[in-house]
Amino acid sequence: MKIVAIVGSPHGAKGSTARLTRIVLEGAESEGARTETLFLKGNTVLPCLGCDVCHKKGHCPQKDSFEEILEKVRSADGLILGSPNYIFSVSAQMKAFMDRCGGIIHCLGFHGKYGASVVTSGGGDEEPIAAYMDHFMMITGIQSVGSVWATMGMISGDDFPEAISHRARELGKRLVHAWKNKESFPEVQQKMAAFKERMRSLMEYRKEEWPFEHTYWKEHWGLK
């Protein structure tokens, strides 16, 4: 299994989110997964321009690392999203990545992959942020197997408490097991099916304006 982790902290590999994500990856690696971590620092992924070119032509005209990151995710079996809590939400870097995935979302272009989410915060409120990243993954076609988080204000020293490290390692292992066993999560599947129907209607409605996505739907999802 190949897993790509995307960490949306400006602190990159040295940040708390990257350190917690690393433990998840160690769990996955212990079950045989190959992993790669990508950091959304600086202008790696610029904000979406809302130009609709991705819907019309299937690529983004902006010159940054987005398309390269996309290729890596496309060729992976699993995706881990890691973000710090920035004002009760994901970081701007992570949000920019999500917004740029509009074309992927319309096509459920990551369908069949498995995911997990990682959040760190200063003082708490991680759960809705993890749920938001899981929801994002669902609308791209990914089934999330769960999440892990840590409140850094409650942690002294450089190491995570063993309870959190254990949860992180187990999450990584669960991700690999889900992929190996082709697991299906009925609740996620149900939401995904409903979302897919919304996108099907959208594609029928926008077929003239968005030829790339309409063709994708005809080829992959049997749109007439």
Cα separation, 151 vs 154, in Å, equals: 6
Closer CB to ligand FMN, 112 or 124, in the complex: 124
Instruction: For residue 16, give the H/E element and its range.
Output: helix 16-30
Could you say which residues in the range 121-180 bind ligand FMN, by CB under 6 A? 121-125, 152
Q: Interface residues for ligand FMN in 103-132 (CB under 6 A)?
A: 120-125
Provide the CB-side half-sphere exposure for 37 (13 A, CA). Answer: 23
Size of the site for ligand FMN (CB under 6 A): 18
- Name the closest residue to ligand FMN (Cβ): 15
Q: Which of 87, 163, 193, 194 binds ligand FMN (CB under 6 A)?
A: 87
Q: Is the CB of 26 or the CB of 125 nearer to ligand FMN?
A: 125
Q: What is the 3-state secondary structure (H, E, C) of 23-58?
A: HHHHHHHHCCCEEEEEECCCCCCCCCCCCCHHHHHC
Token reading at 18: 């990257």
Identify residues 55-84 at the interface with ligand FMN (CB under 6 A).
Answer: 84
Q: Which one, 121 or 144, has the nearer CB to ligand FMN? A: 121
**Nearest residue (CB) to ligand FMN, 141 versus 172:** 172
How many separate helices (H) and strands (E) can be counted in the chain? 9, 5
Q: Does 21 bind ligand FMN (CB under 6 A)?
A: no
Beta carbons of 5 and 117 less than 8 angstroms apart: no
Please give the residue ranges that form the binding site for ligand FMN (CB under 6 A).
Answer: 9, 11, 15-18, 84-88, 120-125, 152
